[in-house]
Every structure is written in C-alpha cells, then in structure tokens.
Structure 1
Amino acid sequence: MIPATSNQGTDATGLPAASTVSPEIGTPYSITGRIKEVYSHVKIESLVAGLSGGVVSTLVLHPLDLVKIRFAVNDGLDLRPKYDGIIHCMRNVWQQEGVRGLYQGVTPNIWGAGASWGLYFLFYNAIKAYKKEGRQLELSATEHLISAAQAGVLTLTLTNPIWVTKTRLVLQYHTDPSQKEYKGMIDALVKIYRYEGIRGLYKGFVPGLFGTSHGALQFMAYEELKREYNKYKKMPSEAKLNPLEYITMAAGSKLFAVATTYPYQVVRARLQDQHNKYNGVLDVVRRTWRNEGAVGFYKGMVPNLIRVTPACCITFLVYENMSRFLMGQK
C-alpha cells in the first residue's frame, strides 16, 4: 500500500477520498486503487469460517425460522393457516407435512445463511483491516458500525434473490406437492425471474438495506462487549475467549440489535410474500398500521428471538473457533 499524505481527504465512510494523491508518483489515487487495497486484506479463512457458522446454525434452527416468517406475514387473510402459538404452529405443520414440512425452504436458507455470513465476515474483516492499517489505536464503535454497514450492503446485494426464494418456499401452505407453486429453490428462482423479472428477485431489497443497520448494530455491540470485557480482564483486545464467553457476547449483541430493528423484517417478509400485493414499503407500513396497529410490526418477534439468539451464538462460536483454527493452520 502506498502511504497517503498527511492532508489527504476522507469520505463519509472514513475511507480515503477518491481524489487523494500518491506522494510517490503524484497521480490521482483512483477508486480502483482503493478497491485493490481493500482486497489485499481479504482473507478466505473469514469466508469459510463465516459460511460454516451460518450453515450449522441454519440446519439446527430452520423450523423456528419457518414459524417466524409465518407469524410475520399473518395479516388475517383466510388462505393462511391460523396458529395459537409457536408450539401449535410447529405441531400443526408436523402433523400435516412431517419433518419435510418443518424444513420447507431449508435449501435457500442454507445457501442464503452460508453465503450471507461468509460474505459478511469476509467483507467486514477486510474493511476493518483496511481502516486499521498503520494505526496503533483500536477502531472506535462508530468505525465498527460503519464497517459492518458497508459489509451488510455488499452482502445483501449479492444474496437478496436467495432470501426471496426462501420466503416464497416457506409460505407454501398446500400439503399436496402437486398443488405447490414452486418445486424447489431453482424452480422458484426461474419462475420469479420469468414472471416478475429482476424486480421480483429484489423484492424487499429496500427494507433489507435498512436491515443492514441490524447487522451493523450487532457487530458494533459484539466488538465493544469483547473489547470492554478483555479490558476488564486485562487481556489483549483480540484475546481468545472460552465458548461460554463468546456465547454471552453474541447473545447480548443480538438481543440489542433485534430490539432495535425488528419491524423492518416484518415489512420485508410482507413485501416478499406471494399471497398479498403491496405498492412498496410505505404501502406495507400504512396498511399494517391501519389494520393491526403497532403490534403488527412486532409479529413473530418472540419466535424470532427464540431462533436468532441461539443461531447467532452458534454462528459466532463456530466462526471464532474455525477462524482461529484456519489462521493457525495457515
């Protein structure tokens, strides 16, 4: 990396501005150059470790994800099954469709969770390492927040079509396979693209962008909890913790993020639902508020917390240990 001059500009993200100049050659410091420098910090180990954590947690907890989505879109339409609670929903699906019913949409969920966590950790660690290069001080909470938000936008752009197919598959209520609209992930991707175009594959993208604040808040809280805990224990900020400590940090950061940002997930799920038509985010917000009040924006939050908290703990625990193992092997 070519060191920048002391008076170089910075953009809103804290990265060097595109117009900065290399002191060695006196030429504009291009966007391509910045991308190459960020890329130099990319670690494939982060991708593999994040992917592993996402896949393991998804396989264990997918049935709760199915329940969460069914509650989130439950806006009173007659075609939707009626459930009295989490246990009743799971028992009803089990009785009608067996284990296979509880794992509807698991294929895109595995692809989506694996790709999302892998890419997120990949981008986040690369951006964080780039910002930290040449500095003695730790990154601030704001810098962690911005790094995580940037990683979230990049990840969502690549994975949104997978999440649309997962939502569609999870919301197939027919027990007879011949009556289901989609036969699987590939069939759903093809049909959505054929009948709805690229726009169909990117339904929910706008609220998803707001959702990057969820991941950003979670990662900021996770980093700060680890740093303050290690400071309290008088250990280096990147010191390895035991499994219970990682789980505690992950759970605390997830609870903070969910409590802050859950309504966007309801809006996003309803936009992606094939059984109802909305004219955009504002239409979802307006109709949900009019028909269900404030509580409508928090439907499915309890099963979501029950699902995402252990999922987050599993993901971070697998990631931290897998990452350290791979880095050690390297």
Structure 2
Amino acid sequence: MQISLVSYNAIKAYRKEGKLESLSATEHLVSAAEAGAMTLCITNPIWVTKTRLVLQYNAGVDPSKRQYRGMFDALIKIYKMEGIRGLYKGFVPGLFGTSHGALQFMAYEDLKLRYNKYRNRVADAKLNTVEYIAMAAVSKIFAVSATYPYQVVRARLQDQHNTYSGVFDVIRRTWRKEGIHGFYKGIIPNVIRVTPACCITFVVYENVSGFLLGFRKENH
C-alpha cells in the first residue's frame, strides 16, 4: 500500500505539473493503474511466497513435513524448482488487480473533490481526520467489492496443491463447482482486515504531507 501510494503521488505530480486545474477522474485512474503495475513487479514474488507458506496445510503440526521452512527458504526453492516464472505466478490476474488500487485512488480523490465542492471550499482544501477516515473507508470498500474475484483467482493460481492451466481454467472450474459465491469467499473478513489499515495510512499520509508542505512554504 505504501509503495503504491508513493508511486501514485509521484506519477500524479508529474501529470499535474504545469496544470492549474485538478486532474480528472480518468487521469487519477490511469495514474493509479500505472503505480499499481510498478508495485506489482516488485511485490509479486513476495505474494507468491506468502501464499505458499500459508497453504502448507497438509503438513499439519509436524515441521519436518513442511515444504518450506520460511520466507527465504520458500523464495529459493520456488526459484530453483520453477524458475522466475514460479515467482511471478498470478502476475496476469495481478495486473487486472491493479484496477483495485486505481479504483480506490480514483474514488478517494473524487470523493474529496465532491465533498469540498459541496462544502463550498477550494478543490484541494484539507479535510479533518474524521473526514479523511470516511473518504478512505468508502473508497476502500468500493474497490474491494469491485475487484475481489481477482484475488481469489490469483490465490488459487499460486496454490501448490492444485494445478490449473491458466487464469481461464481457474475461472471455469470455480464457476462450475462453486458458482458466483466462489469468487467472493472471505470478502467480509477481508474488508474488516484491510479497511482500518487503509484509513490509518491515508490519514497519516495526508497529515504528514500537509505538515511538510506547510513547512516547505515557511522556509521559502
């Protein structure tokens, strides 16, 4: 999340350079998608490793039966046995998953813009902590609800206990065996888990960036 946020703001600042008006919703969407793709290139091996470690359920409580002893052991073994492609399993649905961050940032920026307009304030006016929390929570829930199926597809592609020929094979088999509910398994716990962290991240970011911007202006 932090990497995406930094990348997004760097790309957004580049697009806004020389412009007086605020970026459009489409420009926010494209900037966030680009940031998400950059982040995925860096983090996909970590997500594969995490999924493999979590899915060692056939080992029970006996450590000797575990395929991977830890994160670095998993990274090394996946690379040795499956090559670089093994570390990037689920990358294609992950690219579709950049729409999650793109939708979230677009919704967050649009909500702030509309709220300030409703309150008759300038477009980039700072909000208070409660308002930032509300904007972040709504945008996160919206993004999760819209993009959750890709997370299910991606996790199943990375599961070492099942063999799929590709993304469409996962979708076909999930639909045939579980229906639409199969693509939304675990969404409620996921929303409960990620929303507070998202709110904290955005509140800290907005307040710190506001403080640094004010400090910079005072010293010029």
Task: Give the Cα separation in 2 of the matches to 1:214 and 1:234.
Answer: 30
Q: Which residue of 2 aligns with 1:216?
A: 102
After superposition, the C-alpha distances for 1:19-77 in whole angstroms (9 at most, x for unaligned) are: xxxxxxxxxxxxxxxxxxxxxxxxxxxxxxxxxxxxxxxxxxxxxxxxxxxxxxxxxxx
Q: CA shift at 1:324, angstroms? A: 3.1
Unaligned runs of 5+ in 1: 1-116
Tell me if 1:159 matches 2:36.
no
Moved more, 119-128 or 202-211: 119-128
- Residue 192 of structure 2: SS of its match in structure 1? helix
C-alpha distance in 2 between matches for 1:287 and 1:309:
30
- In structure 2, the CA distance between the partners of 1:328 and 1:188, relative to structure 1 (3 Å rule), is farther
For residue 157 of structure 2, what is the aligned residue in structure 1? 271
Name the residue aligned to 2:205.
Answer: 319
- For residue 139 of structure 2, what is the aligned residue in structure 1? 253
- Give the Å deviation of 1:133: 1.2
Give 1 or 2 for the bigger CA radius of gyration: 1
TM-score, scaled to structure 2: 0.91
SS of residue matched to 1:210 = helix
Q: Name which of structure 1's ranges 320-329 and 307-316 shifts more when overlaid on structure 2.
A: 320-329
Post-superposition shift, 1:327? 4.4
Q: How far apart are residue 328 of structure 1 and its match?
A: 4.8
Identity of aligned residues (%): 72
Distance 1:139 1:159 in 2: 28
CA distance in 2, matches of 1:241, 1:171: 42
Change (3 A) 1:228 1:279: same
What SS does the aligned partner of 1:253 have? helix
| Cα distance in 1 for residues equivalent to 2:155 and 2:206 | 30
Determine if the alignment matches structure 1 residue 132 to structure 2 residue 16: yes
| Cα shift readout 1:182-227 (whole Å, capped 9, x = no counterpart) | 1211111111101111011000100000001111011000000011
Counterpart residue number, 1:121: 5
2:190 aligned with 1:304: yes
Partner amino acid, structure 1, of 2:27 = E
Match of 1:141 among 4, 21, 25: 25
What is the match of residue 71 of structure 2?
Answer: 185
Which whole-Å CA distance do the structure 2 matches of 1:214 and 1:184 have between them? 29
What's 1:227 paired with? 113
> Which residue in 2 is equivalent to 1:283?
169
Aligned to 1:195: 81
Q: Post-superposition shift, 1:326?
A: 4.4
Distance 1:183 1:220, change over 3 A: same
> C-alpha displacement at 1:259, in angstroms?
1.5
1:13-162 equivalence runs, <5 A: 117-162=1-46
Bigger drift between 185-194 and 316-325 goes to 316-325
Q: How many correspondences in the alignment? A: 214
Q: 1:176 to 1:248 in 2, by over 3 A?
A: same
Q: Secondary structure at the match of 2:120?
A: coil
Whole-angstrom distance in 2 between the partners of 1:250 and 1:131 = 23
Q: CA deviation at 1:235?
A: 2.6
Where is the helix percentage greater, Structure 1 or Structure 2? 2
More moved, 151-160 vs 308-317: 308-317
Q: CA deviation at 1:178?
A: 2.6
More contact order relative to length (CA 8 Å, sep ≥ 6): 1
Structure 2 counterpart of 1:170: 54
| Consecutive unaligned residues in structure 2, runs of 5 or more | none
Structure 1 residues 244 and 296: CA distance shift in structure 2, 3 A: same
